[in-house]
C-alpha cells in the first residue's frame, strides 16, 4: 500500500504500478492483483477527496472550494452506476 500513497502524491493513482508489483513479488494471480489494484485506487481516491474537500481554491481568494461539489454530485452517481 505504500506504493499507492507514494504514487498518489506524485499525481498518478498507482493502479498501473500495484498490479505488476503484486504479481511479481507477492505471486498473486491476475484476478487478485486487479482486485487489489481497484481497491487501492478506491481507497487512495477517497482519502484524497476527503483531504481536499474543504480546501479553498487558490485563485478565488478564499471564496470558492477547491473541489466543485455540484459537479461531484452529478458525476459520482453516474460513475457508481457504470461500475
The average pLDDT across 18-40 equals 87
Question: What would the DSSP string read from start to end of 5-39?
Answer: HHHHHHTS-SHHHHHHHHHHHS---HHHHHHHHHH
Residues 71/3/22/42 CA torsion (nearest 10 deg): -20
Q: What is the pLDDT of residue 10?
A: 61
| Greatest C-alpha distance within the chain | 50
Q: What is the pLDDT of residue 32?
A: 92
- Residue 1: beta bridge partners? none
The average pLDDT across 3-18 equals 65
Q: What is the pLDDT of residue 70?
A: 86
The average pLDDT across 29-41 equals 87
The average pLDDT across 53-59 equals 83
For residue 72 the three cell numbers come to 461531484
Does pTM surpass 0.85? no
pLDDT band at 29 (very low <50, low <70, confident <90, very high): very high
Amino acid at each position: 500500500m505504500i506504493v499507492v500513497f507514494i504514487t498518489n502524491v506524485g499525481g498518478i493513482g498507482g493502479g498501473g504500478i500495484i498490479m505488476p508489483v503484486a504479481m511479481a513479488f507477492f505471486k498473486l494471480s491476475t484476478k487478485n492483483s486487479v482486485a487489489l489494484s481497484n481497491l487501492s485506487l478506491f481507497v487512495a481516491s477517497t482519502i484524497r477527496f476527503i483531504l481536499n474537500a474543504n480546501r479553498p481554491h487558490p485563485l478565488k481568494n478564499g471564496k470558492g472550494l477547491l473541489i466543485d461539489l455540484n459537479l461531484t454530485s452529478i458525476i459520482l452517481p453516474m460513475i457508481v452506476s457504470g461500475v
